[in-house]
Amino acid sequence: MKNVPCTVIVGAFWGDEGKGKIISYLALKDKVDFCVRTGSVNAAHTVWMDGKKYALHMVPAAFLHEKCRLLIGAGANVHVARFLEEVELTKVKGRMGVDQQASIIEEKHSLQDKTSAHLKGLGTTGWGVGPALEERARRTAKLAKDIPELQPYLADVATEINDGIDAGKKVLLEGTQGFMLSLFYGTYPYVTGRDTGAAAICSEAGVGPTRVDDVLIVYKSFMTRVGTGPLPGEMTKEEAKERGWFETAAGTGRDRRSAPFDFELARKNAKINGATQAALTKLDCIFPRCQGARKFDELSADAKRFVEEVEEKTGIPVVLIGTGPEALDLIDRRK
Ligand code: IMP
Ligand code: MG
């Protein structure tokens, strides 16, 4: 993936695979020039640097690299207050752009989300993404260009990114959530309000399929999901705690349900997303001796075997392996 201009980052399962960590690492290591965030405020991307934790709902996770231009694509859905707060927190005002046609998610959408018995039954995050996207489809939604506070940030993201690709710049397209939450391919109706796959990420950012060089699918070493809906192989909370897999959601604080890695699902989702490479995060959660490893050779034999099994079953190379929470706790196997 090094020297490759345009890469899509897609979540493999139900979100929370650790895309924030992978993106922040790539931004720093490869000195990425552009990062485009897609999706909406329901997704939190966690970035750890020097003991400081950021849970980003709007600002792209590549912000750690200070020369990276940060963008929100036309297909995304912007929560204005949250966006302004995060811009302040991450100090990225001078390099942050929002596409003029990105739509706006408002307080009323959150209220509609939280008071709808149907949406509540799906276990939504309550941010209002479903109702906001309904309004967009009805063509009554506000757009970024209609919002006075967003005027300093307005951009034509698709043109900027495609010009960047022409100039050989390095671009990351930051997917949110996971493929099993896709409106089209996930566990409907227990899904989010949009397609979350690699093709949809390109569409939201404004990049055509022929301009993408790599699709990096992000797997976590075990699977989790928040909210309602099927989770194959689900274990009890007690068992998850015993194994050290128990997590709570970065965005909503809810308990995450968990299950062992599903190789068949991993294979299928790699194929449908056209994945060329994989990242495998949280290897240290299932093999504690791997904590903080930065070289493949430092891994225990059983951990190596697990990585190799992921490669065999999915047919794609695992190029990045997460071994701890910080952006740089990672094994980079790229040439
Ligand atoms: P909504 O996207 O808020 O409508 O929620 C629909 C489903 O997607 C629920 O099961 C949520 O828990 C789940 N979901 C939405 N965003 C995320 C995320 O960023 N991580 C994990 N699950 C999510
Ligand atoms: Mg998350």
Render pLDDT for 147-192 as a digit per residue (tens, 0 to 9). 999 999 999 999 999 999 999 999 999 999 999 999 999 999 999 9
Q: 241-251 burial, b for 16+ CB within 10 Å, e for fewer?
A: eeeebbbebbb
- 24 and 327 in contact (C-beta within 8 Å)? yes
| Cα 178 to chain centroid, rounded | 7
Q: Any idea which residue has 């990114």 for tokens?
A: 161
Report phi then psi at 11, rounded to 5: -80, 140
The pLDDT score that the predictor gives to residue 296 is 97
Q: What is the CA radius of gyration of the chain?
A: 19
Q: Measure 134 CA to ligand 2 centroid, in angstroms.
A: 23
16, 33, 113, 262: the catalytic one is 16
Q: Per residue, what are the HEC states of the chain? A: CCCCCEEEEEECCCCCCCHHHHHHHHHHHHCCCEEEECCCCCCCEEEEECCEEEEECCCCHHHHCCCCEEEECCCCEECHHHHHHHHHHHCCHHHEEEECCCEECCHHHHHHHHHCHHHHHCCCCCCCHHHHHHHHHHCCCCEHHHCHHHHHHEECHHHHHHHHHHCCCCEEEECCCCHHHCCCCCCCCCCCCCCCCHHHHHHHHCCCHHHCCEEEEEEECEEEECCCCCCCCCECHHHHHHHCCCCECCCCCCECEEEECCHHHHHHHHHHCCCCEEEEECHHHHCHHHCCCCCHHHCCHHHHHHHHHHHHHHCCCEEEEECCCCCCCEEECCC
Q: Measure 19 CA to ligand 1 centroid, in angstroms.
A: 15
30, 33, 45, 195: the catalytic one is 45
Q: Measure 10 CA to ligand 1 centroid, in angstroms.
A: 15
Give the integer Cα–Cα distance in Å for 323 and 329: 5
Mean per-residue pLDDT over the chain, rounded: 96
Q: Is 45 a catalytic residue?
A: yes
Give the integer Cα–Cα distance in Å for 105 and 64: 26
Mutate to test the pocket of ligand 1, among 79, 113, 125 (most ligand atoms within 8 A of CB): 125
Identify which ligand lies nearest to the alpha carbon of 225. 1
Q: Measure 42 CA to ligand 1 centroid, in angstroms.
A: 6
For atom 9 of ligand 1, the residue with the nearest CA is 124
Report phi then psi at 168, rounded to 5: 75, 20
Pocket, ligand 1, Cβ cutoff 6 A? 14-16, 42-44, 122-125, 127, 129-130, 177, 181, 190, 192-193, 226-227, 251
What is the number of residues in the chain? 335
The pLDDT score that the predictor gives to residue 4 is 61
Q: Any idea which residue has 């697990």 for tokens?
A: 306
Task: Report the amino acid identity of residue 37.
Answer: R
Give the integer Cα–Cα distance in Å for 240 and 220: 15
For atom 2 of ligand 1, the residue with the nearest CA is 192
CB atoms within 10 A of CB 137: 10
For atom 19 of ligand 1, the residue with the nearest CA is 43
Q: Tens of pLDDT along 105-117?
A: 999 999 999 999 9
Percentage of the chain modeled with pLDDT above 90? 93
User: Residues of the chain whose pLDDT is less than 50?
Assistant: 1-3
Identify which ligand lies nearest to the alpha carbon of 17. 2
The pLDDT score that the predictor gives to residue 10 is 98
Q: Measure 266 CA to ligand 1 centroid, in angstroms.
A: 19
